[in-house]
Structure 1
């Protein structure tokens, strides 16, 4: 009876991973090694695709997934909404992997020229913070532009038909727009924002299935090393599923950062600055403390 009960518990242990169409988690899924590694610990894996970070973390909030990754801003909005998320790892800065784009024929030449203009962006995403800080650096208040909140595909359409004056976007959509439309960059994150990527677990997984998280992060690190040293091969592998040409993906992959690292005090402080900025702009319903959502060392 005990053996049967243990077997039943093992069969019920599932790590539900949320991933986006582009990134290291989708490559880990394709590699197929994680499923076997977790199976040896009594877990099975399920995978769910999301169009961007905010809906991925909404799914974590309602208990639909246990693990995923996004950029800097989505977890801040999710934590403010009460999501039981725990930061477990991050990637180094990749400031050129997001940018403020304008059409090649645009008369806009600097970020300051965005005053009074329509700017498309994905609300609550990494680029939301890039826009805020780039405007601040240029002496333009966030309230002096007209944000148009659109998902990447809709934003690209609006950008191409001239319905918006600028588009703040991340790779690989950024690279695709540069290659296909010759979009110009008013500013990327260089000297403005870090543009980190973070990996998250649900609090339940972090507290009760630490071994599973460690296996996921170990397998991700192996994929990370492979991508860094085989960019062309990775671009060729991703191209059919992402629906973007190999040269576009090569450009995006070269702007990524590599080396998945444990959360440290420095990156927590950076996240806190982002959270405080959004709160000051009344974009967050309450002030949050990032360290409340961090996997403690050794846990």
Structure 2
């Protein structure tokens, strides 16, 4: 079983990823250095033939999740990258020299809470006192915090076990946790393995992925970034409109079976979204919730981390 991890990375691994991209991203303005993840940007750009006749040359760097993408951007090792929104909130909080220049909204269930098939937990209002596995600071962590707030419970009413998706899946199966807050395709794979989605956990929080650029690239490669943004938006739209073909490509890219991706695609569309007041408001609510939960040590104005002026 292959699981996709949007956040987990050990410090030593992060240093190695950045070292692998040690070439200065400003060395050649005719080259756009792009940080990608499995099933991310390149797969849809190739599907739509968007890598033909480029006015610049792309050099790709591969990353396991959003956190090292943002680290590489801040270090000047790449120009543009893609990843989940949760890691970006923490990057803003540390003053990273990075902006979000594009967005993809997940229209569908988003993260959910899954439990073993024999669990007594049926609804989301039964989570107080449970031990729940989730990646720290992820959109799935945000889901559980939002559920507790909706119920008027303290944010420490759940005992979190912060772990990667791989470890979370094993912990759920092994019985060391009561539930696993996670996203697709991991949730779909878990249900196929006998787990069950907890009623009321679907759609509690919005889910986005973001396109990031380093500040220096916005100054030096503005036109190239605008062009790249248009191409990736068209690719994301193609993926939403051609679910079967997209599923087949994702199988090759990720190792997760195409029929799993087709099932995910029947429930969820990943659509290009504008950087607008709705998106920024959603991100601000998440940042404020992280502050209340003690994940951040100061209030963040997320608007300062978004750049909506590419043209």
TM-score (norm 2): 0.83
Select 2:163's aligned residue among 131, 134, 150: 150
> Are residue 285 (structure 1) and residue 297 (structure 2) matched?
yes
Give the corresponding residue for 1:216.
Answer: 228
Give the corresponding residue for 2:38.
Answer: 21
Aligned partners of 1:112 and 1:140 also within 8 Å: no
Gaps of 5+ in 2: 1-25
Residues 216-260 of structure 1: CA distance to partner in whole angstroms, max 9, x if unpaired? 122112222321222112111211331112221112223333441
Cα displacement (A) at 1:32 = 8.2
Give the corresponding residue for 2:21.
Answer: none
> Are residue 127 (structure 1) and residue 140 (structure 2) matched?
yes
Paired with 2:257 and 2:121, the residues of 1 have a C-alpha distance of 28
Gaps of 5+ in 1: 1-8
Give the corresponding residue for 1:81.
Answer: 94
Helix, strand or coil for the counterpart of 1:97?
coil
Paired with 1:33 and 1:273, the residues of 2 have a C-alpha distance of 37
Select 1:170's aligned residue among 183, 197, 203: 183
Helix, strand or coil for the counterpart of 2:269?
coil
Normalized per residue, the structure richer in helix is 1
Structure 2 CA distance for partners of 1:235 and 1:284, relative to 1, 3 Å: same
Select 2:76's aligned residue among 63, 66, 87: 63
Select 1:160's aligned residue among 164, 173, 183: 173
Paired with 2:198 and 2:147, the residues of 1 have a C-alpha distance of 12
Residues 50-72 of structure 1: CA distance to partner in whole angstroms, max 9, x if unpaired? 33323332332333332222233
Helix, strand or coil for the counterpart of 2:246?
helix
Residues 128-170 of structure 1: CA distance to partner in whole angstroms, max 9, x if unpaired? 2111101222333221211111111121111111121111111
TM-score (norm 1): 0.86
Paired with 1:35 and 1:70, the residues of 2 have a C-alpha distance of 20
Give the corresponding residue for 1:4.
Answer: none
Paired with 1:296 and 1:32, the residues of 2 have a C-alpha distance of 24
How many residue pairs get matched? 286
Helix, strand or coil for the counterpart of 2:300?
coil
Cα displacement (A) at 1:93 = 4.5
Give the corresponding residue for 1:6.
Answer: none
Helix, strand or coil for the counterpart of 2:213?
strand
Cα displacement (A) at 1:33 = 4.1
Tell me the C-alpha RMSD between the 2 structures.
Answer: 2.3
Helix, strand or coil for the counterpart of 2:67?
helix
Paired with 1:30 and 1:152, the residues of 2 have a C-alpha distance of 28
Deviates more, 1:105-114 or 1:166-175: 105-114
Cα displacement (A) at 1:298 = 5.4
Residues 85-108 of structure 1: CA distance to partner in whole angstroms, max 9, x if unpaired? 212122235340311111111111
Paired with 1:118 and 1:50, the residues of 2 have a C-alpha distance of 30
Paired with 2:139 and 2:304, the residues of 1 have a C-alpha distance of 21
Helix, strand or coil for the counterpart of 1:181?
coil
> Are residue 199 (structure 1) and residue 215 (structure 2) matched?
no
Aligned partners of 1:86 and 1:200 also within 8 Å: yes
Give the corresponding residue for 2:12.
Answer: none
Paired with 1:63 and 1:176, the residues of 2 have a C-alpha distance of 37
Cα displacement (A) at 1:113 = 2.2
